[in-house]
Structure 1
């Protein structure tokens, strides 16, 4: 059965889409084409909800374990010579867990193994190989800059600057993905910016001593980390729109969630190699042994903290890229940022950094986060309701 879908970012009606059975796929029972690209299929609510859960759970656990790691190695103690130890390690932890994605990738891809080959597959794979290398480079740079910025300037300042990613993402989305915006998306973005800014009262276990602060280096690192994250999301959306979805539009193939794992596995492989090489060149592999031996909770806890971060980051990335796959880079960035207040509250509950407590800023941030999500999803609901009339 065919049905008309109204795009969220434009007023021109979409072409008819063939309905796809409900699965973890783009599904014509739901929603929207946000980019105006005819190859992008309508979204699927269960996939969106599952991706949001992955973002919240993955980012929350990863950040808690990161705080636990810095707290147990006594990073807050003044030691200017070792101030930036571990920046490559933290970058590596964000991508090194990608082999965990191989099993779900294989399972989802084998479901379509009987589909006929596409004549342009060879061209697409060559182009995608180059793009995945570029995305992997951006991932490794973003991870290192983010880790560096948090160790150079107070976390409140880092958060304010890093929130600028919500400004760059719509710009890149417009230039790269040709996204058009409506008032509800703009409202959601504004509320998300406010949410990110209000989480500046969050404490961080690796925050530098006042004598170690380097505002010039830290501020630029935070800014470019935000730019890299925005560029990363928009380039991933470009991969979906112009390569992965287009290679299925003229066939009976369905745009499957397996493409999310495809993007992550190959890009993370590149990022992991770069971060591992950087770690070896910087000599951080020697620091890992020293940290393990001096870890306050013991070697077992150290290993669990590091492995836990690697696993949690993969959960987070599946959610982030899943939202790009399901909706757009803009929603993915919004959900990623409005998760920060949740992390902030969890840090208060599980840690005691400088008498950190649940203050009015954290409370307001939770409210604006909820309003930001509500604004975005009201538009999705409205489009879904209108399309059913």
Structure 2
């Protein structure tokens, strides 16, 4: 289930997969909540919201500067390269960034119209799209455990969808509500493509995938996604409307800007985790983690936004967690089997004493 991405130290690879998985899981829980908080408390600028999702990319520059000087000190060379990214990876980051910009808009529009629990259940369908694109683009091999996880998470989302209309916010028209549904589904569709596209882009590189290279790719991807959204802000005249939007914010002007900044920070952490998990493991694992964490987000949304939590949501949450456990049990079992095979090969090939 893991990609064949080159990395110098296998142990370090496992550590990076674990660290990025934790980062991805936690930030996916928090991201939808801060995005929805902006709209629930009176924010109305969709292009501003989608810009903040990837707008925190300059923070990555500090990490890259530290990595550069560490690399320069270690190598003891004056001609140490500033960037490790190849031309092909740069082009891939541009494509991924522009598509991510579209995903940002679709997701922000849907988040403005739908409760967090509803948008999360629709967002979890990205796992299905990720699996489809991983099969087509990456030639992903599925096991019975990964298939089981996809099926369970899909059924869970379907069960929630049956009762989703009861969550429609007061004063929201059916037409607007349906538009929000479609936008979130489009976001799930295109982001499924982004995860698979990023994985195949890293697979094709012949360089060892250092975390610095991952940060470079993620920064450029977010830069072009943000540029796409900023153009939308300019066309929609969001920059002129921000002061007025801040004055109407229920929590106050200061909190308005704090929410925007917090949203940018959380989503930036999310993208670091998503790109990291994808390049060190697989797009499918990213999809599993995202889908599983969205189920947790539904529960948190009930607590903070007082959203309804009926029996169908509880059953869906159980199915999602079951699918999550199924995937990792399968991964553990497959890794153990692979180690046994490698051990047998080493014993067979050992020279006689």
Deviation per CA, 1:60-99: give whole Å up to 9, x if none.
Answer: 22222223222211x7xxxxxxxxx422112101100011
- 2:319 maps to 368
Is residue 2:88 matched to residue 1:130?
no
Q: CA RMSD in A?
A: 3.3
Who is 1:277 aligned against? 231
Residues 263 and 205 of structure 1: CA distance in aligned 2, closer, same or farther (over 3 Å):
farther
Contact 1:153–1:208, Cα closer than 8 Å, also in 2 = no
- 1:133 deviates by 1.3
CA contact 2:36–2:112 (8 Å) conserved in 1: no
1:213 aligns with 2:185: no
Question: 1:239 aligned to 2:232?
Answer: no
Any idea what the Cα deviations from partners look like across 1:266-292, whole Å, max 9, x if unmatched? Answer: 111111111111111101223321121
1:188 aligns with 2:188: no
SS at match of 1:93: helix
Q: Within the alignment, does 1:100 sit opposite 2:59 as a pair? A: yes
Candidates 330, 333, 339, aligned match of 1:379 = 330
If the length of structure 1 is used for normalisation, what is the TM-score? Answer: 0.75
Gaps of 5+ in 1: 1-7, 27-43, 76-84, 117-121, 249-254
Could you tell me which residue of structure 2 aligns to residue 305 of structure 1? Answer: 259
Alignment TM-score, normalising by the size of structure 2: 0.82
**Which residue, out of 128, 131, 138, partners 1:167?**
128
Distance 1:202 1:106, change over 3 A: farther
Which residue does 2:243 correspond to in 1? Answer: 289
Which consecutive residues of structure 2, in runs of 5 or more, have no partner in the other structure? 78-82, 341-353
- The CA distance in 2 between the partners of 1:278 and 1:197, in whole Å, is 33
- Displacement after TM superposition at 1:350 (Å): 1.6
Q: Distance in 1 between matches of 2:84 and 2:9?
A: 27
- Kept in 1, the 8 Å contact 2:56–2:268? The answer is yes
Query: Which of residues 5, 20, 25 is equivalent to 1:51?
Result: 20
CA pair 305-197 structure 1, distance change in 2 beyond 3 A: farther
Structure 1 or 2: more helix by fraction: 2
> Could you say what secondary structure the match of 1:213 adopts?
helix
**Whole-Å separation in 1 of the counterparts to 2:166 and 2:38:** 11
Q: Conserved in 1, the CA contact under 8 Å of 2:117 and 2:301? A: no
Higher relative contact order (CA 8 A, sep 6+): 2
